[in-house]
Every structure is written in structure tokens, then in C-alpha cells.
Amino acid sequence: MYEVIQVGKNTFYIESPAKMGIYKLNESEICLIDSGNDKDAGKKVEKILAERGWTLKFILNTHSNADHVGGNALLQQRLGAPAYTSGIEACFNRYPILEPSFLYGGYPCKELRNKFLMAQPSEVQELSTVHLPERMETIPLGGHYFGMVGFKTPDGVWFLADCVMGENILQKYHASFIYDVAAYLATLDKVEQLEGKWFIPAHAPACEDIRPLAAANRSKVLEIIDRIKDICKEPTAVEEVIKNVFDEYQLNMDWNQYVLVGSTVRSYLTYLLDKHELKAAFKDNRLVWSAV
């Protein structure tokens, strides 16, 4: 873990729970793509830089989930590196309480105010204000989160954040977190058309062909859509839909899984409502979902 792997002349990634990217700007300076899940990840990055004689010029955050920005605060405090991200993601970096609050739909209890859902606050600037290396590209990767982006280095290496999950994760958790199902499916279509030498998803093995993994993720989304439609053949309240999804996939409910899977199920319901494949109504002071 935390092995540095070279995938291009100037491009590396750090093997970690949420892969981080490194691009050498010159012989001594690098930019970091995401910063890991907590301060310990930040310390490991700092050690890697010291061992190789590299200076951290700036951090690029693909999005604001805690496992991608958890090292920001420590690296900023110790190395003074600015960080950049896109749009609304900056708000979540600055005010991490927003993540468990939006997932839960109210003020989160202490069980949800944990480092898995809340990174330490970090100061970030709008991505458009940073002078990126020549020929480095950004790409919107909607669906998983509010304003997630990916980066392509001049070496032809794509860092794709959480737009696809590894097949082992799909088999274990099934309902991986999605904020906007329609945007997520559109992103999978987009990712299948990308050209590059290497593709580095945060939670899947690096690969030279991303298309099979994109297809596997799409297949799982379509499977869950069918399961939810089947659950809602009879009018069903949202909490029962969530319970049925947990039962169907033999998931174990805890606070983190409740808000992550629960929020995702609500996003699937919205998607099906917008496509007129389900309908929603208030009955006996309950919101129930049913087939059209």
C-alpha cells in the first residue's frame, strides 16, 4: 500500500484506498491529484515527496468526498500547497459538515460525523483559476457527486476518480453511491469513448482499456433499476424500498451504509420518476412509490 507506480514519463499514481495521482511539472515540482482519505494519507504523501526530492506545487481535487480530500489539510499546513476543485465541491471542502448533512437529510448524529464522511476542512480555489500544465485536460464526470471531474495528463493517463467502481466492489456492495443516475449513465457513455494509454479509477485497478469496467458498472445500475421497479410493483414507502435493497443484496445496515445506500436509492427513485417509469403519491402521510 502507498506504492508509487509510474505509468508515463512524468505520470505516477499512489496505490492506496483511493488512488492518488502525481504529475511531475519539472524535475523538482509535482502536482497531486487527490490527497487520500485522512491525515495519515497526507503524511504518507509527504514522506514520498521527501524521499524523492519533490516539492508539492498544488493539489487538484477531483471531488470533495472525504477519501479524496482527507490529506488536504495536513499537506496545506505542512507544505503550504494550494488546492483546486470545481464549483460546488469547494463548498464541501471548506464545510465538511455538508456531506453527512445532505446524505442524512438533517443534522447528522455523532455516528455520522466521522472521518469517513467528513474530512478536515481545507481551503480550495476554483479549478478554473489554476494554470494547469500544457496539454493537461479536465473532463466533467457527473453523476457520482455534484461536480466531479477527471484529469488527463500529457502522458495520456486519465485519472477518473469515482466514475467507475471495481468489479469486486460491485459484487460486494452492489449499490455504490450515485447522486444523479441519469448523469452517471451519461458519464459511463462518455468514459467508454475516451482515448488514452492508461486509466486510473480511484477504486479499481489501473487498466489500459476502461470499456469493460464501464460496461460492468452500467450493467449493475440497470440491474438495480429493474430491482427497484420490481419492489415498487405495489405501493411502497421509501424506507421499505431501502430495506428491500439491503435484503436483496444481503447488505448489513449501519449508519454509514444507511445514508449512502439510502441516498442512492432515493436518487434511483427520482430517476425513475423523471422517466415516468414510477409514480409517487402521499398516502396516509407517507410518500409511497408505485408502478405507472
Specify whether 166 is located in the same domain as 284: no
Which of 174, 206, 221 marks a domain boundary? 221
CA distance 157 to 55: 21
Which of 163, 189, 221 marks a domain boundary? 221
pLDDT of residue 1: 87
CA distance 261 to 274: 20
CA distance 117 to 112: 7
65-94 tens-digit pLDDT: 999 999 999 999 999 999 999 999 999 999
Write the CATH number for 236: 1.10.10.10
Spatial contact of 59 and 132, defined as CB atoms under 8 Å apart: no
- For residue 181, give Cα distances in angstroms to 13, 56, 185: 28, 36, 6
Specify whether 66 is located in the same domain as 211: yes
CA distance 10 to 6: 8
Write the CATH number for 107: 3.60.15.10
126-181 tens-digit pLDDT: 999 999 999 999 999 999 999 999 999 999 999 999 999 999 999 999 999 999 99
- Residues 16-39 have a mean pLDDT of 97
Spatial contact of 147 and 89, defined as CB atoms under 8 Å apart: yes
- For residue 205, give Cα distances in angstroms to 89, 115, 143, 170: 25, 24, 21, 13
Which of 204, 221, 238 marks a domain boundary? 221
**Which range of residues forms the domain containing residue 281?**
227-291
CA distance 100 to 136: 33
168-209 tens-digit pLDDT: 999 999 999 999 999 999 999 999 999 999 999 999 999 999
Q: What percent of the chain has pLDDT over 70?
A: 100
CA distance 1 to 19: 10
The runs of H, that is alpha helices, within the chain are 39-52, 66-69, 72-79, 89-94, 98-104, 167-173, 181-192, 211-231, 238-248, 255-274
Amino acid at 284: D
CA distance 79 to 39: 13
Question: Is residue 158 within a helix (H) or strand (E), and if so which, with residue range?
Answer: strand 157-165
Spatial contact of 228 and 277, defined as CB atoms under 8 Å apart: no
Specify whether 156 is located in the same domain as 270: no
Specify whether 271 is located in the same domain as 144: no
